[in-house]
Structure 1
Amino acid sequence: MTTQKNINELIDDLRQKGVQIVEFLYDDYTGLTRGKTMVIDDLAAHITSGMGITKAMFASTARDGIVEVADMTAVGELRLVPDLDSLQILPYAPQVATMMCDHYNTDGTRASADPRNTLQTIIAKLKELGLTAKMTYEHEFMLFSGTGADKKPVNPQVCFSTDAMDFAYTFLPEMLNQLRAVGITPVEYYPEAGSGQHELPVAPAEALLAADNEIRFKRIIKHVALEHDMSATFAPKPLLNTEGSGAHVHFSLWQDDGSNAFYDAHDDLQLSQTGYYFIGGMLKHIQALTALTCATVNSYQRLQPGAWSSAFATFGQDNREAAIRVPSTFWGEEGKTMNIELKASDATANPYMALTGILAAGLDGIQHKIKPNLPVDVDPASLTDNQRTELGVQRLPASLEEALTALGQDDFYKEIFSSRTIEAYIKVKQADVTYFAGQTPDQIAQTHRDLY
């Protein structure tokens, strides 16, 4: 329980550490992080009462246009209330502390438009079943030099190249140190197949922290790149002539006794019945889910058959052309390492919406015992249309507009997020569809490369 004594002690501690400014942050429907800052002298009065923010911000596009949604207008206000458990000091700006916020209505109730609130609701539902979700993003990003249309990939090399590794060692230690400073645990690093592309997986965390970490991770990578005269982009397809960048989500469910609810030593895939049901729920809703996890026009420039990005709604063990992959476990740590991976995911998503969408669909599968189709162990693109139909394999949406249509038709997510939230989200994204309709594929890629 937060008391005035706790608040005073917190502020005294921040002062002693040299903090002068505190950020109140959130992620909007465009997948961009926004917020306000508070000078520490005035912080005490706002830790519990929050900072005021217009309701219209959830109807904001990436170009700061406001789409028309009832109750998301210039009239009315919400409160950004910080989650004190999320407090971190920026490693590259130690005079700044940063906190993720939940949106509240002025009457003290949680705002349904806020996906961070919705994620916490789903986490609570899992807790009622004795389950805890652990999740992480597996990020690819590209490094560029130059500006605008003149941006070029830095040190393009072949996949897993030691030349690329040697280049990365000039900035990678700094990235690792700054990530650890905000509680993120890097576990691996390797140069990837795209021009100037790198991958830096991090350890899983409980779902809310995993979403918060997604925001911190991208911010730190971008900042360190700038310090080394480069720009980092997490755009799904920043260049059309090379591989795209995913932000695959790995996740598992853990029971109160500490066992992995997805693991079954006797199954051919070592996947439990709970795991199969979870996949069944995801596949039931995956057409709509894709609108949440692949959230921009540029996402669908990446999400193509044969691109190792997954373009088909199916699953398989170590099948990197399936939307859902069941990774093989590690020897001697089978129970600890069993997890499920969603490959149809990138870094343009709002992480709270994306992780909520995954967990809610999986929970629907568990509660209703939804069985998935049989696992597919070939590239679905190599099958005929009839073969895919027999196996129950569908094409994922081929455009953001198709994904938004699927989201609008899936009443399940309207119950999870609220009808108004889904309406606003679709309208914000539809504004992007309209904006990019007259642009060339290269222009679309460049705009997203600069924005994300």
Structure 2
Amino acid sequence: MTGDTQKKIIDDLKEQGVDLLEFIYVDYTGLPRGKTVFLSEVAHHLEDGIGITKAMPASTMRDEIVSVYGMNAVGEYRLIPDLKSLRILPYAPTVATLMCNYYDQDNNRLDFDPRVALQKIVNEYSKMGYEIKMTYENEFILYQQAETGELEPYNPEICFSTEAMDNLYRYLPSLIKNLRNVGINPVEYYPEAGAGQHELPISPTDPLTAGDNEILLKRVVKKFFADNNLYATFAPKPNLETASNGAHVHLSLWKNGVNVFYDQQDKLELSKIGYYFVGGILKHMNSLLALTCPSVNSYQRLQPGHWSSAYAIFGKDNREAAVRIPSTFAGDRKNSMNIELKASDATANPYMAFAGILSAGLDGIIKKIMPPAEVDVQPETLTEKQIMKKKIARLPLNLSEALQALKNDSVMINAFSDLGIEVYSKVKQADVDYFSKKTAEEIAMIYRDMY
């Protein structure tokens, strides 16, 4: 970056009234962290980044530092910003925010950084001529403070209730404006089945932008409702008495402007490339779950019969399957074909989840892995003999099982490096150990307040 480029960026921000510039990264817990620099002092930081202690990648959601060689109180990494991610916060117009990548002191990107890993796997697809479109489909629950001081679901209504819609319309226009101001394009809104639950799907983009959007969306939504004396949580199971929050991933693969997941002749409208991609996902499903459902709270959600995708299967519009093939739109079947990973929630680091999904899918494409036959029934309604015949398997029952699969998966190790898998696994195991001493209600409440 030239000095003239830096000066132009700084001058443009000054003209827009910006005084502060955030340098943000997302840790292994899926939580954004960062530092803020005064614009008057930013100077070389746009190119050289800012220092961050080497201990931070090994930090848990409780700020404990797990033991990893080299990640301690000695030394620094660099957080170098991606200028394409620059946004001005709609609720704090004097503050601009930037997403950063981890670098070492010699200006080398660090492979353990999930955002770096995502860029690497996207580049692998690009070499093969593929363009990827991805997005999250988030559910969240709104709470209000009761007279007792406790939090309770806000305006709990039935699924798709017009009363719930009418109530939220007082907030929705301003919320949508805030999201669009940071480049996020919501495409639908509806109340969901949980008490006080809502869903706000957004349009797909390239994977890196989609990861940035996921972080920004949660931040904007939570801040917006906090300013209106409500509390939004994206935690998978914040309330044991009602439906859970998913953060489903939708993706499609394109070449020369054509959706290569679509095949008009197939009964599912899914192409061979699409089947291979699904095959890769299902082959790596157990290890992938440690990335897409990476919290103790995730496994309070992943239960049979709750439409939360508790089985390592795929099927056409099967909402009990880990992978769903959604129906296409009659007026645009080719372009609307996509694959949905339902076994996913908002406690994930989105870059790590996306990189894991794409790595598994690419393994399927390269090795031409066909998935088992699609399942078009709810597995919990079948007999044990029928389940065995259809080769239906439950997903890992807890985070420890998923982590063990992750540590033994060479494709995931290649995606995130030996160091990345080591640190990630230790951070997550620290959570497993901590929450083993908590009740189910305590676990749900802690994640409700954190996510």
TM range (shorter): over 0.9
The aligned runs of 1:45-64 (5 Å cut-off) are 45-64=44-63
Aligned-pair distance for 1:369?
A: 0.3
Contact kept? 1:261, 1:275, Cα under 8 Å? yes
Distance 2:28 2:164 in 1: 35
Q: Does 1:31 align with 2:25?
A: no
Aligned to 1:371: 370
Deviation string for 1:362-401 (max 9, x for gaps)?
A: 0000000000000000011222233222222211011111
**TM-score, normalised relative to structure 2:** 0.98
Aligned to 1:152: 152
Q: Does 1:328 align with 2:327?
A: yes
Distance 2:170 2:401 in 1: 42
Aligned-pair distance for 1:409?
A: 1.8
Contact kept? 2:238, 2:244, Cα under 8 Å? yes
Partner SS, residue 117 of structure 2: helix
Contact kept? 1:292, 1:350, Cα under 8 Å? yes
Aligned to 2:438: 439
Q: Which stretches in structure 2 are left out of the alignment for 5+ residues?
A: none
Q: Does 1:242 align with 2:246?
A: no
Aligned to 1:177: 177
Aligned-pair distance for 1:149?
A: 8.1
The aligned runs of 1:243-282 (5 Å cut-off) are 243-255=243-255, 257-282=256-281
User: Which letter maps to 1:93?
Assistant: A
Contact kept? 1:313, 1:396, Cα under 8 Å? yes
Aligned to 1:417: 416
How many residue pairs were aligned?
450
Aligned-pair distance for 1:72?
A: 1.3
Deviation string for 1:330-375 (max 9, x for gaps)?
A: 0120011000000000000000000000000000000000000000
Contact kept? 1:143, 1:231, Cα under 8 Å? yes
Aligned to 1:428: 427
Partner SS, residue 242 of structure 1: coil
Contact kept? 2:359, 2:411, Cα under 8 Å? no
Aligned-pair distance for 1:245?
A: 0.4
Partner SS, residue 72 of structure 1: coil
Aligned to 2:64: 65
Distance 2:171 2:399 in 1: 35
Partner SS, residue 48 of structure 1: helix
Aligned to 1:133: 132
The aligned runs of 1:7-406 (5 Å cut-off) are 7-146=6-145, 150-255=150-255, 257-406=256-405
Partner SS, residue 394 of structure 1: coil
Aligned to 1:451: 450
Aligned-pair distance for 1:52?
A: 0.3
Q: Which stretches in structure 1 are left out of the alignment for 5+ residues?
A: none
Contact kept? 2:134, 2:204, Cα under 8 Å? yes
User: Which letter maps to 1:74?
Assistant: A
Deviation string for 1:295-347 (max 9, x for gaps)?
A: 11000000000010010000000000000000010012001100000000000
**TM-score, normalised relative to structure 1:** 0.98
Q: Which moved more, 1:32-41 or 1:138-147?
A: 138-147
Distance 1:389 1:405 in 2: 24
Partner SS, residue 156 of structure 1: coil
Contact kept? 1:119, 1:353, Cα under 8 Å? yes
* Structure 2 CA distance for partners of 1:27 and 1:306, relative to 1, 3 Å: same
Contact kept? 1:324, 1:344, Cα under 8 Å? yes
Deviation string for 1:164-183 (max 9, x for gaps)?
A: 00110111111100110000
Aligned-pair distance for 1:276?
A: 0.2
Contact kept? 2:185, 2:203, Cα under 8 Å? yes
Contact kept? 1:50, 1:81, Cα under 8 Å? yes
